[in-house]
Structure 1
C-alpha cells in the first residue's frame, strides 16, 4: 500500500488495534471506506452521514500519526469515496478539493442522488468529474436535474473514451428531456468502454450497436427505446445476467414479427411496463431455466376480450418461469414461501442468497386478481412451508376464484401470516374443510398502524383457534406485530384467554414478550392499556 510509514510509538500502543500490522490496518480502512453496500446516500436517514464511509475515513485519519499516514497515503481509499451528496452538504468547498487531491490518479467511484449544494463548488465539482476526470471513473451513479446544466455538458459522454468504466447509471429526477432532443448516431464513450458491465440511463439516444454492448452483464431498457429496438439491443447481449425494463414502448407499436432472443445467462428479469409491453418482451426472450422474475404490470380496468387474452398469456408465461425454476431447484428440495394479496403474488426460495430476501418471483397487476392456483404448479406445493396471505377488505370485490383450491393444497404449511381481513377468509375455509393446513403451527397477525380489531375478526380468530384445537391440530404460537415488527399498541387480545395453551409472542422496543393463554393474566394481552 502506498504511504505505509509507521509514525512514532502511540501512547495507546497497549490497545490491541494499535499493534496491528499495517497491511491488516489498511484492509480495515478499505472495508470501512466501501460505498458499495452503503445506501444511506438516498437521504432516508438524516443522521446517516455521521456514519458515512467518507466521514469515518476522515475521523480515522485523525486518530494518530501512523493511521493518518496510512490513510492519506492510500489514494484508492479516497477515490472510492466521491459521494456528491455528502460533499455538497459541506459548508465550504475546501473539503471537496482536498478529497479530490487525495484521490491522486486512482480510479473513481462517484455517486449522488440529491440536489446539488448551494455553493458554486458543488456544480464545479460535478462538471470537473465529467470533463477533467472522466477517463478514470470506474463507477458512476447519479440523478440529476435538467435545469442545472447546459445540455452541451453531456457531450463528454460521447466524446471521451471510458477505459475503466464498469458501471454507468445516470437518471433524470423529472420527466423533462435532459439530453439532446435528437438522438445521436454515434456511440457513447467514444465507442470505447471495454470494462463496462452495468448500464442504465434515461432518455439517451445513441448508437445501439456500440462495441461495448455485447459485454454488458446488466442493462436497464428505458426510453427512448421502443420494444423493437429494445429487442434488437438484447439480441447482442448474450453475456447478459440481469435485465430490467421500464416504460418501454408506451408510445410505440408492438413489433409484429421477430425471432426469439436467446439470453442463456440471464438469471433475473425485473420489469415495470404496460400489459402489451411486458407480454411482448417476455414472449420474445429465452432466459436461463433458473431465471427469476419481478414484474409490475399496469393496464386499464377492462373486460375487453383482447385484455383478457393478454392477461391469460402473460400469466401462462409467469407460470412457466416458476415451473422451470422449481424444476431446476428440485434436487435441493426447497422449503419455500409464498405471498398473495389483491393483484400480487410472490414466491421466495430459501436458497435465494440475497441478504434482503428478495422474492424469486414477484408479480403485481393493477385492477386484476391473480389466479394463484393456475400459476403455481401443483407438483411443488408440498414445498410451501410459509404463506403470507394479506388480502385487504377494500379489494374484496376482485375475487380470485381459484384461491380456495390453492390454499387447500398447501398440506405442508407451517407458518401462516394474515391480515385482519384474511383471518375471516381463512376461518370460512376452515368451516368448509377442518383439515386445511394440517401441519400449521404458527399464526402471524400483521396490523396497519392504528388498525383496530373488528368484532368479526375477533370471532373468526378465536373460533379458528378453538376449532383447530378440537380437531387435534392446534396452532401452537400466535405472533403479533405491526409492519415494523413491533407490538401494536392499539389492540386488545384478552379474549384469547379461552384458547388455553396458546403462546402469544410479541416484540416491544426490541424486547420479546410472551404470554400463555389460560395463565390467569389476560390483561397482559390488552396492549392499548399497557401503552397508556
Structure 2
C-alpha cells in the first residue's frame, strides 16, 4: 500500500501542464491576452503584470517580449500609474509595433504620449484615442503629419474643434498599411484630402457632420476597397448648410466590397444622393434619424422613400432574411430639430443564422407622406419576402392595417407573428381583407402557427379583435396553434373570453402563471 506522505509529495511536485508548454507556445498565449478589447473595460495591462508574477519562467518570457508591452499602451490606465511605472513601460516596448489606445483623462499621461509619439511614431500600428481637451491634439498634430509606415488603424475622438494646419497633410501622405480611418464621427476634427494616396487601401472610413456629400463622394471614388462606411450628421447643423450633392449627380460610386453602410442624422436629400449614387452589392444598411422631411418637397420625399425600398429589396433578396421587424418609433419627439411630428417606419432585417439577434439592416420610410405607404406596397414585389419566417410588428399605426395588405400578403412563409404594442385595427385587417376574397383560403400568413402578443397596455380593447382573428383562422382551416402572451402580460380573460378560447380546436395559450 502506498504511503500517504508519498501521495502528498507527488501532488506537490507535479509540474503544471501549462508550464510544460514550450516557450514559443506560451508567448502565443500571452500575446492572445493582449488582443484589443473595449477601451472602457481594458484590463490587458493588469493581466500582463499578474501573469508575469506566476512563475520565474513566465516572468522572464513576458519581460523579454517587447511585442507584449507594445500592445498594452492604454493611455487611461497609464495615466493612473506612477511616473516610475510609466518610464518602466516605455523602456519595455523597445522597437516593437505599438498599440496606443484609450482616453486621455489625466494630465500626467499627456507628456508620456507626446514623448512616445516623438520617439516611436513610425512604429505605431494602432492609434485609437479619445481627447477631451484642445491642447493635447494641437500638441501631437505635427507628429501625426509625419510618415506612418506601419499604421493600420487610426481613430481619434476629439471633444474640441481646433483649426489644424493641413500642410503638410496628415501622415505626410504616407500610410501604405492603413486600413481603417475613423475620425470618431460625432466629434471629428481631423482634416484630410480626398485625394490622399493612402485612401486606396482603406477598408473602413467614417465621415463627420462637417463633411459634405460632395466631399464624401470624392473620397469614396478614391477608396474602392471599402467594406464599411459610416456617415454621421448633426441635429445642430443649420438648414442652409445642408448639401444635397447636386454637383455629384452624374457620379456612380463603385464600392464592390461594401458590406456595411451607416447613415445617421443626415438630411433626407443627402440620404437620397448617397443611396442613389453608391453602387454596391446588397449590403447591410442602417439609416436613422433622417432630417428635413417634414418641410421637404413631395417629389424629393418620394425619391428618397423609393431608393430606400430598393436597398431593402436587394438586401432581402440576396441574404434570404428570416426575420423582419416593422416598427414605428415609441417617441417621435426623439427626432431632432423640427421633426417632432415625423413618423418613420423602420424596416429591420435579421439574418438566417439567428433571426432573433439585432438586425444587420435598418432603413426608415417616412409614412407621414403619402409616398411612404406607396413605397412599402412596392416592397411587396420583393421575392425574398417569401423566405421570412418571423414578422414583428411594433407600434404599427391604425392606417397600416389597411394600407399594407399587399405587403403582408408577400410574407407567405411566416410561421411566427409578433404583435408588439399595436392597435386592434392591424389584426382586424388580417381577417377583414382575407374574408373579402374567400372564406376558405387564407392569403395573409397562410403558414402562421404562432402569435405572440407583447406590451399590450390596453388589452381589453385589443382582445376582441384578437379572438375574432383566431376564430377566423380556425374556421377557414388554417388555425393558429400557439397564442403566446409573454411574461409581461398581467391582464386576465373574462369567462366569455375563456370559453371562446377553449372552443378553438388545437390552440395552446401560454401566459404567466399568475394570470387567470
TM-score, scaled relative to structure 2 = 0.78
Q: Is the alpha carbon distance of 1:446 and 1:138 closer, same or farther for their aligned partners in structure 2, counting shifts above 3 Å?
A: farther
Give the conservation status (yes or no) of the 8 Å contact 1:493–1:525. Answer: no
Alpha-carbon distance in structure 2 between the residues aligned to 1:478 and 1:400? 20
The separation in 1 between residues aligned to 2:96 and 2:509, in whole angstroms, is: 56
Distance 1:57 1:376, change over 3 A: farther
> 88, 99, 102: which one pairs with 1:109?
99
- Render the CA deviation track for 1:311-360: whole Å, top value 9, x for unaligned: 2212222233234345545xxxx3521111122111233269xx995534
- Structure 1 or 2, whichever has the larger Rg, is 2
Structure 2: runs of 5 or more not aligned: 1-9, 329-343, 436-441
Q: Select the residue among 248, 269, 273 that pairs with 1:276.
A: 269
Distance 1:232 1:525 in 2: 62
Residues 1:366 and 1:19: Cα distance change in structure 2 (over 3 Å)? farther
Matched residue count: 463
Partner of 2:114: 127
Q: Deviations over 1:85-121 (max 9, x none)?
A: 3444x36454444444333321122222x4603xx42
Measured at CA, do residues 18 and 422 of structure 1 come closer, stay the same or move farther in structure 2, by a change above 3 Å? farther
Deviation at 1:200?
1.6
CA separation of 1:346/1:14 partners in 2, compared to 1, >3 Å: closer, same or farther? same
The answer on 1:286 being equivalent to 2:275 is no
Distance 1:410 1:168 in 2: 44
Task: Confirm or deny that 1:194 pairs with 2:176.
Answer: yes
Give the structure 1 partner of residue 347 of structure 2.
345
1:457 matches 2:465: no
Distance 1:10 1:170 in 2: 53
Supply the distance in 1 between the matched residues of 2:368 and 2:76 (Cα, whole angstroms): 40
Q: Indicate the residue corresponding to 2:306 in structure 1.
A: 316
Query: Which residue in 2 is equivalent to 1:512?
Result: none
**Structure 1 pair 476/145, CA: closer, same or farther in 2 (3 Å)?**
same
Report the equivalent of 2:450: 442
Secondary structure at the aligned position of 2:197 is classed as coil
- C-alpha separation in 1, matches of 2:484 and 2:60: 53
The answer to whether the aligner puts 1:473 opposite 2:456 as a matched pair is no
8 Å Cα contact 2:242-2:267 kept in structure 1: no
Q: Distance in 1 between matches of 2:242 and 2:282?
A: 31
Q: Deviations over 1:405-458 (max 9, x none)?
A: 2113212101222212256622442344363322222333443xxx85542234
What's the CA shift string for 1:267-290, capped at 9, x where partnerless?
A: 322112111111122222222x33
Contact 2:416 2:449 in 1 (8 A): yes
**Larger helix proportion of the pair:** 2
**Aligned to 1:156, which of 143, 147, 151?**
143
Alignment of 1:238-387 (within 5 A): 238-247=224-233, 251-258=241-248, 259-272=251-264, 273-287=266-280, 289-300=281-292, 302=294, 306=297, 308-329=298-319, 334-342=320-328, 343=344, 344-350=346-352, 357=357, 359-364=359-364, 368=368, 370-371=372-373, 372-375=376-379, 377-387=381-391
Give yes or no for contact 2:194–2:222 (8 Å, CA) kept in 1. Answer: no
Gap runs ≥5 in structure 1: 1-8, 43-47, 482-486, 506-514, 516-522, 528-532
Q: Quote how far apart the aligned CAs of 1:497 are.
A: 6.3
* C-alpha separation in 1, matches of 2:210 and 2:56: 53
1:388 to 375, 392, 413: 392
Could you say which residue in structure 2 is the equivalent of 1:85?
76
User: C-alpha displacement at 1:252, in angstroms?
Assistant: 4.8
Cα-Cα RMSD:
3.5
Q: Does 1:215 align with 2:215?
A: no
- Partner Cα separation in structure 2 for residue 368 and residue 12 of structure 1: 76
Q: Distance in 2 between matches of 1:367 and 1:404?
A: 15
Alignment match of 2:45 (pick from 35, 54, 68): 54
- 1:58 aligns to what SS in structure 2? helix
- Does the CA-based 8 Å contact 2:267-2:292 persist in structure 1? no
- Cα pair distance change 1:425/1:401, threshold 3 Å: closer
CA distance in 2, matches of 1:387, 1:406: 12
| CA apart distance, 1:196 | 0.5
| CA displacement, residues 121-162 of structure 1 (integer Å, 9 cap, x when unaligned) | 22233333443332211112222223453624322211x211
Give per-residue Cα distances to partners, 1:224-246, cap 9 Å, x unaligned. 43222221222111222222222
CA distance in 2, matches of 1:196, 1:136: 13
Shift in alpha-carbon separation, 1:502–1:150, aligned structure 2, 3 A? same
Distance 1:10 1:64, change over 3 A: farther
Q: Aligned equivalents of 2:18 and 2:356: distance in 1? A: 32
Q: Answer yes or no: is the 8 Å Cα contact 2:424–2:461 preserved in 1.
A: no
Give the secondary structure class of the aligned counterpart of 1:20. coil
Match of 1:29 in 2: 30
1:189-224 CA distance string (max 9 Å, x none): 111111011112212333332221112121112244
